[in-house]
Amino acid sequence: MRRFLIAGNWKMHNGPAATRSLLTELNEEVPDIPDSLDALVCPPFVSLEAASEKVRKHFGLFLGAQNLHFEDEGAYTGEVTADMLKEVGCEYVIVGHSERREYFGETDKTVNLKVKKAVSEGIKPIFCVGESLKQRKAGEHVNLVKKQVQVALNEVEASDAEDVVVAYEPLWAIGTGETATPEQAQEMHDMIRGELAELYDEDTSDAIRILYGGSMKPHNAEDLLGQPDVDGGLIGGASLKAESFADIIRIAEELS
Residue nearer to ligand 13P on the CB measure, 136 or 200: 136
Instruction: Give residues 26-45 in contact with ligand 13P (rule: CB under 6 A).
Output: none
CB of 171 to ligand 13P, least distance (A): 9
Asked if 15 interacts with ligand 13P (CB under 6 A), we say no
Instruction: Among 43, 96, 125, 237, indicate the residue that binds ligand 13P (CB under 6 A).
Output: 237
Q: Which residue is nearest to ligand 13P (CB)?
A: 236
- Told to check if 174 binds ligand 13P by CB under 6 A, we report yes
- Least Cβ distance, residue 162 to ligand 13P (angstroms): 22
Distance in angstroms (rounded) separating the CA atoms of residues 47 and 50 = 5
Q: Which of 27, 67, 81, 215 binds ligand 13P (CB under 6 A)?
A: 215
Nearest 5 degrees, angle CA 195-CA 197-CA 201? 155
3-class SS string, the chain: CCCCEEEEECCCCCCHHHHHHHHHHHHHHCCCCCCCCEEEEECCHHHHHHHHHHHHHCCCEEEEECCCCCCCCCCCCCCCCHHHHHHCCCCEEEECCHHHHHHHCCCHHHHHHHHHHHHHCCCEEEEEECCCHHHHHCCCHHHHHHHHHHHHCCCCCHHHHCCCEEEECCHHHCCCCCCCCHHHHHHHHHHHHHHHHHHCCHHHHHHCEEEEECCCCHHHHHHHHCCCCCCEEEECHHHCCHHHHHHHHHHHHHHC
Position 95 contacts ligand 13P (CB under 6 A): no
Under the binding rule (CB under 6 A), the answer on residue 170 touching ligand 13P is: no
Choosing from 15, 122, 175, 226, the residue that interacts with ligand 13P (CB under 6 A) is 175
**Nearest approach, Cβ of residue 54 and ligand 13P (Å):** 21
Question: First-to-last CA distance in the chain?
Answer: 8
Nearer to ligand 13P by Cβ, of 7 and 61: the residue is 7
Measured from the CB atom, the residue of 235 and 242 that comes closer to ligand 13P is: 235
Q: Point out the residues that are catalytic.
A: 97, 169
CB-nearer residue toward ligand 13P: 158 or 240: 240
Number of residues interacting with ligand 13P: please give it, by CB under 6 A. 14
Stretch that binds ligand 13P, among 70-78, 183-191, 234-242, 243-251 (CB under 6 A): 234-242
Q: Largest Cα–Cα distance of the chain, in whole Å? A: 48
Binding status of residue 9 toward ligand 13P by CB under 6 A: yes
Closest CA to 129 of 47, 247, 37, 208: 208
Q: Is 213 in the site for ligand 13P (CB under 6 A)?
A: yes
Site string for ligand 13P, 114-153 (x = CB under 6 A): ----------------------------------------
* Residues in contact with 183: Cβ distance below 8 Å, sequence separation at least 6, in sequence order: none
Q: Which positions lie near ligand 13P, rule CB under 6 A?
A: 9, 97, 169, 174-175, 213-216, 234-238
